[in-house]
Structure 1
Amino acid sequence: MRVLVAMMALAAVAACGADGEPIQPTMNSTITLSNHGIGATTHVAATRGPVTFGLGLGL
């Protein structure tokens, strides 16, 4: 849990421009419906130069 909070804090600091120009984050969400039920996934990413930081969650 601490690692997740630390990663989210790092992403927030990088996205707000504390270390330079602000980074525009991207977000993709998918909701699927099948015979097995409903599924949802979300992925948030921020890219700066050759480095991409992303975080995904699937339910």
Structure 2
Amino acid sequence: MRPILALIALLGTAACGADAPPVRPSAGVGVSVDNAGVSTNANLGATNGIVSVGLSL
């Protein structure tokens, strides 16, 4: 029983792409005050060391 469960776990891990570099999430928020008033910003992103993607709001 144990070898079968180990084989299923190994196949499941291989199927989900666990051999790829880990994806690191990033996030940030900011508030700024100037003569025009108060403004806010936020950004979300992810990188795996080679490719980075992000979204700024």
Same fold (TM over 0.5): yes
Corresponding residue number in structure 2 for 1:36: 36
Q: CA deviation at 1:19?
A: 4.5
Give the total of aligned pairs: 40
Task: Give 3-state SS (helix, strand or coil) of 1:45's partner.
Answer: strand
User: Where does the alignment leave 5 or more consecutive residues of structure 2 unmatched?
Assistant: 1-15
Q: Which amino acid aligns with 2:45?
A: A
Q: Does 1:47 align with 2:51?
A: no
CA distance in 1, matches of 2:49, 2:33: 36
Task: Give 3-state SS (helix, strand or coil) of 1:46's partner.
Answer: strand
The RMSD of aligned alpha carbons is 1.8
Which of these two proteins has the greater Rg computed from alpha carbons? 2
Percent of residue pairs identical = 28
User: Where does the alignment leave 5 or more consecutive residues of structure 1 unmatched?
Assistant: 1-17
Deviant stretches of 4+, over 3 Å: 18-22
Q: CA deviation at 1:22?
A: 5.3
